[in-house]
Amino acid sequence: MPARVEQPELADRRSRRVEELLAEMSLGEKLAQLVGVWLNVNREEGVVAPLQDSMQGEDVQFEAFAKDGVGQITRHFGTRPVEPEWARSALAARQRWLRENTRLGIPALAHEECLTGLAAWRATTYPVPPAWGASFDPVLVEEMGRRIGRSMRALGVHQGLAPVLDVIRDQRWGRVEECISEDPYEVATIGAAYVRGVQSTGVIATLKHFVGYSNSRAGRNLAPVHAGAREVADTLLFPFEVAVRDAGAGSVMNSYAEIDGVPIAADPHYLTEILRGQWGFEGTVVADYFAVAFLHTLHAVAADAGDAAVQALTAGIDVELPTGVTYLEPLREAVVEGRIEESLIDRALRRVLRQKAQLGLLDDDYDPEPSGPVDLDDPESRDLARRLAEESVVLLTNDGVLPLAGDRRIAVVGPNADDVAALFGCYSFVQHVLPHFPGVETGIAAPTVLEALRAELPGARISAAKGTGVDDGDRAGIPAAARLAAESDVAVLVLGDRSGLFGRGTSGEGCDAESLDLPGAQQELAEAVLATGTPTVVVLMTGRAYAVPSIIENAAAVVQAYFPGEEGAGAIARVLSGAVNPSGRLPMSMPRATAGQPYSYLHPKLGAAGSVSNLDPAPVLAFGHGLSYTRFEYADLTAEAEVAAGAPIRCSVVVRNAGDRAGAEVVQVYATDRIASVTRPLAQLVGYARVELAPGRSAKVTFDVPARLLSFTGRDGRRVVEPGEVGLSVRRSATDVVAERTVTLTGSVYAFTGDERRLTDVSVENS
């Protein structure tokens, strides 16, 4: 729940109110609190959820639907472009109607998408989650979460459907652009920071998608997941555990996935035994859109909608979103026919009412209309979007062409060079909603890369050519683009993705990739420009990592930017000009070829190249890689020689800026369990610190690594740390070792209780 401590008297009064309401409610009123209502949906062209066109029924009238009340109002601001102030008043009017025209007068909880900022017209749009991962800056991400929460609270919104805590497992999956990293520790730390930021404002954060969704077979959206219990426990669950137990997340959304044949929406092992029994979660579990009905229509484990509702409610899904396809009439019939005990409805209802009470919705003095002006894209938010975008740009290679001189002839080429949509991910309002409303302006100021470069380099003579589209395969413009590059001193080639939904893009939900080659004719464009001999800077604006080894090898410089948001073009231009020293690091490996997928740097020895196969899965650039315009040196790595198994390990290292300009280094610490009773990753991130240093200055960075990060699920199913040797190393990336020390874990096997510290404590001492 939101991080606000209730006074005991207030908490007691709210608790009594919940029990009074529950005792007074009819079955119809109870069920009404367990569903949402989604209004003003364009069913023909506005599809933004799986099978929405078939699952969403006829247009509903709010007053008729909510005659017994309603649990949630679905995407009041995020379904179509509406002026924020008008929409805020309209939402308040609906809340007043519920107070005055339903028997019990219970207001609804309003939820919105908020993955890259509040998904509403005219709201600040931040970089996508892989950019958060690239920044390695949880402090800045927490600040972003706080600003997003304030925007929602200013509109009367109570719950945000973010962050996504799925660990990247296969980069062909379209929803990679919604994920933070391929490393579960980074996902956990960055995701928990977002949760703390949002919930500090009194808004509920919702963890997505619990659990396993990103591990879908062949990278296909909603494909079955075949993962062993150990992989789920040791890799996929960890970010959710941290967000629940350390950050206090107030809501969890189920995954669409089925793991080893059992859909998560009907699996009490995850939704109840682990989430509530082991982790002590007390919030609400909400269904991903139409997920309950999918138990019947997609998974075929339920005979009909009523059976689906019984299975989901029993497993632990409290609220059906976005509307009441199964939890209204089908669930009512199941209760009347004795197929489910009403006590299970009361269990979910108590959680829902308790959350509404904690939000103040059940208080006598509840005022549904927030006061004050509405500015969803204020200068402070834009500045934060700028800082996050700047920190997230990753310099992959550079032969010295960067920073760019400002007095040169520059050819700016490529499909994403002059396209504002290339800045935004599929859960931004610009890409999620506006494509269904042609002619409506974006509502936010967002220059393109071409425009930003012209502003950043006023002395340069800049010419532009598109060359080809993102994925249209049109080659007609390639010769002209190559000629323009040949006539210039340097070329900036801007390639990448177009985000969309369900096949309407090259990245995004339902936009999975058969190949990790660049979409369309972009590789041919790159080869033509590179063949001119003109020094070429390639800028990749994507939602995933592509296999572009020839570009990495032959371009003068390569820059990676994951859909960087409204301030992203300026951030890229400032990195190219040198006004910003790049500090981003890869949150996902850069593959050498599609054949390497699915891939994670967290592979055991058998997952590496060897004589038993002709395929080498090693990426061309590893997780954690990133260059700077300055140089960083390391010295004095120290670590304890012996530590009892189950005790934390302390280590420290000195990092120095040995260059001539200020910069930020991401100090990365990895652990290697050299011999264990189950196979272990060759290296695993157990701590990191973003350290900003002036030229010539140093810092001592100390890490206190908890034993939990060295643990694994043993052969008997217990979480343990075994005695033996552990390699502790400082690396520039997952494969670039700077220094390593051996730590011997002594004593006997340590079995975890679950209450042990999960995150590494880090301190930085500047000198």
CA separation for the pair 137, 590 (Å, rounded): 21
Nearest C-alpha neighbor of 482 from the set 495, 470, 471, 493: 493
CA separation for the pair 565, 9 (Å, rounded): 44
Residue 443 covered by a domain: yes
Residues 489 and 559 in one domain: yes
Residue length of the chain: 767
- In which residue are the tokens 């960075």 written? 701
What average pLDDT does the structure give for the chain?
96
Query: For the chain, how far is it from start to end, CA to CA, in angstroms?
Result: 40
- In which residue are the tokens 């979409």 written? 519
The whole model's pTM is what?
0.97
Give residue 568's identity as a one-letter amino acid code: G
Residues 408 and 321 in one domain: no
Q: 507 is written with which tokens?
A: 């990245």
> Could you confirm whether 226 is annotated as catalytic?
yes
* Model pLDDT, residue 6: 76
* Model pLDDT, residue 612: 87
Q: 205 is written with which tokens?
A: 């954060």
Residues 286 and 155 in one domain: yes
Instruction: Please write the tens of the pLDDT for every residue from 1-49.
Output: 555 567 888 999 999 999 999 999 999 999 999 999 999 886 655 678 8
Q: Is 88 helix (H, G, I), strand (E, B) or coil?
A: helix
* Model pLDDT, residue 47: 75
Q: 256 is written with which tokens?
A: 């669409």
- How many domains are there within the chain? 3
- Between the CA atoms of 735, 741, 746 and 751, what dihedral angle is there, to the nearest 10 degrees? -30
Residues 351 and 461 in one domain: no
Report how far apart, in Å, the C-alpha atoms of 419 and of each of 416, 423, 454, 494, 497 are.
5, 8, 15, 10, 11
Element (H, E) at 262: strand 262-263
Instruction: Please write the tens of the pLDDT for every residue from 666-722.
Output: 999 999 999 999 999 999 999 999 999 999 999 999 999 999 999 999 999 999 999
Q: Which candidate in 288, 418, 497, 673 is catalytic?
A: 288
Nearest C-alpha neighbor of 464 from the set 452, 446, 481: 481
Residues 221 and 298 in one domain: yes
CA separation for the pair 730, 281 (Å, rounded): 35
Percentage of the chain modeled with pLDDT above 70: 98
Q: Is the peptide bond between 322 and the residue preceding it cis, with omega within 30 degrees of 0?
A: yes
Residue 753 covered by a domain: yes
**Residue-wise over 500-522: b if at least 16 C-beta within 10 A, else e?**
bbbebbbbbbbbbbeebebbbbb
Phi, psi for 386 (deg, rounded to 5): -65, -50
Residues 331 and 455 in one domain: no
pLDDT band at 58 (very low <50, low <70, confident <90, very high): low
CA separation for the pair 759, 767 (Å, rounded): 26
Residue 56 pLDDT > 70, yes or no? no
Residue 190 covered by a domain: yes
CA separation for the pair 290, 55 (Å, rounded): 7
Percentage of the chain modeled with pLDDT above 90: 93
Residue 539 covered by a domain: yes
CA separation for the pair 199, 248 (Å, rounded): 9
Report the phi/psi class of residue 520: left, alpha or beta, with left for phi > 0 and alpha for psi in -120 to 50.
Answer: left
Residues 354 and 471 in one domain: no
* Model pLDDT, residue 5: 66
Q: What is the DSSP string of 654-696?
A: EEEE-SSS-EEEEEEEEEEE-S-SS---S-EEEEEEEEEE-TT
Residue 398 covered by a domain: yes
**Residue-wise over 525-548: b if at least 16 C-beta within 10 A, else e?**
bbebbbebebbbbbbbbbbbbbbb
Residue 74 covered by a domain: yes
Residues 113 and 201 in one domain: yes
- In which residue are the tokens 């809340």 written? 95
* Model pLDDT, residue 604: 95
Give residue 485's identity as a one-letter amino acid code: A
Residues 521 and 660 in one domain: no
Whether the CB-CB separation of 114 and 148 falls below 8 Å is answered with: yes
- In which residue are the tokens 């900036």 written? 492
Phi, psi for 374 (deg, rounded to 5): -110, 115
Report how far apart, in Å, the C-alpha atoms of 547 and of each of 323, 526, 540, 550, 641 are.
41, 13, 11, 9, 41
Nearest C-alpha neighbor of 563 from the set 2, 15, 132, 111: 132
Residue 59 pLDDT > 80, yes or no? no
Strands 109-113 and 72-74, sheet pairing: parallel
Instruction: Please write the tens of the pLDDT for every residue from 113-132.
Output: 999 999 999 999 999 999 99
* Model pLDDT, residue 405: 87
Whether the CB-CB separation of 529 and 488 falls below 8 Å is answered with: no
Residue 371 covered by a domain: no
Strands 698-705 and 649-657, sheet pairing: antiparallel
Other beta carbons within 10 angstroms of residue 303's beta carbon come to 10
pLDDT band at 575 (very low <50, low <70, confident <90, very high): very high
Q: What is the DSSP string of 314-342?
A: HHT--BB-SS-TTTTHHHHHHHHTTSS-H
Question: Domain of 647: which CATH number?
Answer: 2.60.40.10
Give residue 145's identity as a one-letter amino acid code: G
Strands 36-37 and 536-542, sheet pairing: unpaired
**Strand order across the 632-639 sheet:** 632-639, 649-657, 698-705, 761-766
Write the CB contacts of 543 (distance below 8 Å, at least 6 apart in sequence). Answer: 128, 130, 174, 176, 177, 425, 426, 497, 499, 507, 508, 562, 563
Whether the CB-CB separation of 28 and 332 falls below 8 Å is answered with: yes
CA separation for the pair 629, 664 (Å, rounded): 10
**Strand order across the 394-398 sheet:** 394-398, 557-562, 536-542, 490-496, 409-413, 461-465
pLDDT band at 757 (very low <50, low <70, confident <90, very high): very high
Q: Which candidate in 53, 226, 269, 704 is catalytic?
A: 226
Other beta carbons within 10 angstroms of residue 418's beta carbon come to 18
* pLDDT, mean of residues 330-348: 98
Question: Domain of 188: which CATH number?
Answer: 3.20.20.300
Residues 254 and 307 in one domain: yes
Residues 340 and 422 in one domain: no
Residues 355 and 398 in one domain: no
Phi, psi for 292 (deg, rounded to 5): -65, -45
Its domain, for residue 234, covers: 67-359
Residue 446 pLDDT > 70, yes or no? yes
CA separation for the pair 207, 164 (Å, rounded): 6
Q: 357 is written with which tokens?
A: 């009470």
CA separation for the pair 616, 608 (Å, rounded): 7
Q: Is the peptide bond between 458 and the residue preceding it cis, with omega within 30 degrees of 0?
A: no
Instruction: Please write the tens of the pLDDT for every residue from 618-633.
Output: 999 999 999 999 999 9
Residue 611 covered by a domain: no
Question: Domain of 415: which CATH number?
Answer: 3.40.50.1700
Contacts 24+ apart (CB under 8 A), 85-92: 85/374, 87/120, 87/155, 88/154, 88/155, 88/156, 88/369, 88/370, 88/374, 89/369, 91/155, 91/156, 91/368, 92/156, 92/368, 92/369
Write the CB contacts of 275 (distance below 8 Å, at least 6 apart in sequence). Answer: 210, 240, 244, 252, 281, 285, 316
* Model pLDDT, residue 55: 72
Tell whether the torsion through CA atoms of 452, 453, 456 and 458 is positive or negative.
negative
Instruction: Please write the tens of the pLDDT for every residue from 448-468.
Output: 999 999 999 999 999 999 999
Q: 92 is written with which tokens?
A: 């308040």
